[in-house]
Structure 1
């Protein structure tokens, strides 16, 4: 019986067939029970010019040396998921095979701990371009196995257990994949400790998900364009680590350090760089001095893609880092602890197209915050604390180019009255004149400068010439929350008591999370008025004490200020 086709799949069968096949070019044996592969068992297939031959998961335990000797036209050979098959059997079969046309060899998921040094001897002088050894259990990689392969372009040895690499030259190699191994030290690819490269034409190098702790300086990769070294134990990115990579355009450092602890000045001195990922490094950028923040990416003038998600930023640090990146098209700020976005947080980015700020604590922004990024086409603000979006939230110039905006998973208000509100301030601060120095020099300075909050302070923001009561009413409506700074001086002030009556109404209308009470000192009994007692009994308050416990106080204040109105209160200090 004759069967004419170009691709034949044998699944869950043995090899012996009673029919002849013609014009077959690709054959796959999948999930069978072959046990022994021999020349006799597949002789019927040799009536065709087979180009691709694949044996996957067939319980092969023996591959006889002459099995593949009659296949003279094979371009691609795959032997995969055969854990009982010895690597020496495959080597002997390759040695007896006419491999002049073989370009791709895949030997994956075979559970080999080692392969013989002469494994690829038969194909060294031929036109092999691709070798895939992924997902075995190899512990050693010897580059001499592949030396003198003048056409080898791609070598994949990921998902093994390689901890030792023996250097040798592979002059033609373009792409090397060594991810998900047990490498602890950056391999050296300089010949005889000089500047000559063992891999002079390498374009792509992946070392992700290993155990590398110290990377030192990358050398002897004169044509490397892509370097992926994420998910390693690298705690410090040293000065000039990548400076010798003159053609590097794509650098991935995501999830390094766990967390990344230090970035030295000059670490990213890479003028050719176009893509950089520092995703999920949990790096605290406040550890850098302001000048170091400003210079960190100053050499990367052609950077078009930047992923800073999963790190610690604020609205003061961010513009320093990105202000010189005029070619930036993609910026990811997911989960970077951003809250209020003041004007100037985004410097002029004339070609920016994608801005991702999901999974932050953003509750609002200044009217002109997007004035310098009007080329945006996609804006992602999902999973934040945004309550209000109205026609004044985004400038007309921004909307002209914007193709998509994502605002899902925000605690939007639903009533018409709330939607019409336009909050310009995160909180209105109520305090007495005796506490003005602490409010201005401690509370406001710290939280506005370091955390990006925007407060309404009557000494600074009230309109001159208007009655105080009118100003209070006007600016309370422009503020999302109310902060009350309580002291004995506050309790004795008749004016402050009047303000307490006003904000009590705010609390009753919007819930206790609309207020934040800060106690600067214990109140004496003679100063404890009935309205003040009612306020303290109905609303959680935070106690300020300089020194021990002060950091806990500030963390609690920040958390409470960022909490959406209507959420459960945080623990009281």
Structure 2
């Protein structure tokens, strides 16, 4: 096919086709194939035998479920010159240290948008020249081993949009270790942790204790309400800090001191009300090239006069990019809401000391009235206070003696599918495809059971690892003795955890002659969904997905 291109130095793009297999031996005649893009196809299987000269390989947006084999022998690579590899937006679930063996020249590895549940220790340790690693949009990620990112060469790490919880509770469950997660990346200069949960002050402070060489830190929409004082002191070389879309209102006046390298600061879309002379050191305002403060809830009072005067008398507005003045508006008081800050001119007369005295008097009187009100309410609502105290003590006891299953995070799989083998084509071709497209981790016996163990043990073990049980009902199911035995296990799970744990799907109406008593009892006591192809199918899948995500109404269980 490519024999007439044997002497060319080529870039080949095969995007937006319907290939399901990539047999790269067809590219062997091309002696200097430097760049190959086979994106937006339906590729499942990949071989890289014919890509010896390739430096750039993009296989993103396919259906690849396993890392391709890059090793010709134990020491020789099929792709010795490969520097860039993208396997983003595929269906890869697991990676290990051997996955990237024989990629000695690789510098950029893009793994966004896959289905990893956990990242083990040292999985990138064999990539001695790795410079950039992107592992974002992996929303099934539940566990990161202490030394998962161990790499002396890594400089850029993107872990955005994983919705990973960097919290004390997850640390106690050993889902990650804030002390070591970045400790073994000594040359890390750029880190993106946007759209994760980082609202635990102490954990955030510990997380960045070993990132001394960071120059660019991005934490967009990460639920941060307070910036730890030590976070920037551990990053003396930081040039760009992006905290847009968080819940920050105030910070210590010393936070931004002694940052001579800082050139870009993004604090837009937070809850900042006032910018005054203590917000930023004068040296920082002078050295910054970008200061992004748009989309905050500014109070148009005398408190903001310094900020407005500084913008009008200096070149500060040129550092606000193109969002000044349109995206800088008043939020308070009500009569000035949505007024542009550029159109607000507080006068000296409005902001003199007399107004401050009035404010102090009003505040004092208000405090006395509030205190008086509290005293009166204390006498009138003694019973309510006693009830509140009882509830608080009860919660404390529950906290120390009981636990409740919180969510599917406590399980390895979102759902376990019970079905008859005769219905396998529909289960694997339709059901699994729909659910896994919605980032749900589904367990089916044909793919996930442990080899060598008995089928009975496998069923028991993997049902226990699953948050919900999906039962696919049909005539084939009702006639199967094996499926009837599984119904007994399903009923036992229902007795222990309630009917919400089961999702019954009537794939095919069951004839009365095949309706056994346990199955009829199950259908009489548990709501079920009926599948019908075509009209209404969208509503059916919506109902199934909502059922899987619906919490279990389990009573508290004693741990003693």
TM-score range, shorter chain: 0.5 to 0.7
Matched residues in 2 for 1:165 and 1:395: separation?
A: 55
Q: How far off its partner does 1:221 sit?
A: 0.3
Judge which range, 364-373 or 208-217, deviates more: 364-373
Matched residues in 2 for 1:279 and 1:237: separation?
A: 15
Residue 141 of structure 2 corresponds to residue 255 of structure 1: no
Matches within 5 A, 1:344-383: 344-383=230-269
Matches within 5 A, 1:159-198: 159-192=40-73, 194-198=74-78
**Contact 2:26–2:50, Cα closer than 8 Å, also in 1:** no
Matched residues in 2 for 1:141 and 1:542: separation?
A: 67
Residue 212 of structure 2 corresponds to residue 303 of structure 1: no
**1:406-429 deviations in whole A, cap 9, x for unaligned?**
1111111112168799xxxxxxxx
Q: How far off its partner does 1:122 sit?
A: 3.7
**1:24-75 deviations in whole A, cap 9, x for unaligned?**
xxxxxxxxxxxxxxxxxxxxxxxxxxxxxxxxxxxxxxxxxxxxxxxxxxxx
- From 133, 137, 140, the counterpart of 2:18: 137
The 3-state SS of whatever aligns with 1:288 is helix
**Contact 1:208–1:228, Cα closer than 8 Å, also in 2:** yes
1:211 counterpart residue number: 91
**1:195-244 deviations in whole A, cap 9, x for unaligned?**
32111110000111111111223211000000001011112111111110
Change (3 A) 1:387 1:502: farther
Matched residues in 2 for 1:316 and 1:151: separation?
A: 53
**Contact 1:276–1:307, Cα closer than 8 Å, also in 2:** yes
Matched residues in 1 for 2:390 and 2:287: separation?
A: 48
- From 258, 263, 272, the counterpart of 1:386: 272
Matched residues in 2 for 1:404 and 1:418: separation?
A: 20
Q: How far off its partner does 1:372 sit?
A: 4.7
Change (3 A) 1:527 1:331: same
Higher helix content, 1 or 2: 2
**Contact 1:319–1:347, Cα closer than 8 Å, also in 2:** no
**1:521-566 deviations in whole A, cap 9, x for unaligned?**
x96647599xx9xxxxxxxx99963555999xxxxxxxxxxxxxxx
Q: How far off its partner does 1:400 sit?
A: 3.3
Taking structure 1 as the reference length, what is the TM-score of the superposition? Answer: 0.53
2:368 counterpart residue number: 501
Matched residues in 2 for 1:409 and 1:151: separation?
A: 51
Matched residues in 1 for 2:86 and 2:390: separation?
A: 52
Q: How far off its partner does 1:184 sit?
A: 0.8
Change (3 A) 1:379 1:503: farther
**Contact 2:45–2:64, Cα closer than 8 Å, also in 1:** yes
Matched residues in 1 for 2:14 and 2:389: separation?
A: 60
Number of matched residues? 337
Matched residues in 1 for 2:219 and 2:119: separation?
A: 21
Unaligned runs of 5+ in 1: 1-118, 422-472, 483-497, 508-516, 533-540, 552-573
- From 223, 235, 238, the counterpart of 2:120: 238
1:288 counterpart residue number: 171
1:279 counterpart residue number: 160
Change (3 A) 1:386 1:283: same
Change (3 A) 1:547 1:213: farther
Change (3 A) 1:393 1:231: same
2:392 counterpart residue number: 545
**Contact 1:251–1:276, Cα closer than 8 Å, also in 2:** yes
Change (3 A) 1:179 1:408: same
Unaligned runs of 5+ in 2: 308-355, 400-560
Residue 210 of structure 2 corresponds to residue 343 of structure 1: no
Matched residues in 1 for 2:272 and 2:224: separation?
A: 12
The 3-state SS of whatever aligns with 1:303 is coil
**Contact 1:343–1:367, Cα closer than 8 Å, also in 2:** no
Which of the pair has more CA radius of gyration?
Answer: 1
Matched residues in 1 for 2:185 and 2:366: separation?
A: 53
Matched residues in 2 for 1:252 and 1:348: separation?
A: 24
Matches within 5 A, 1:79-94: none
Q: How far off its partner does 1:259 sit?
A: 3.6
Matched residues in 2 for 1:378 and 1:309: separation?
A: 17
Matches within 5 A, 1:415-426: 415-416=301-302
Cα-Cα RMSD: 3.7
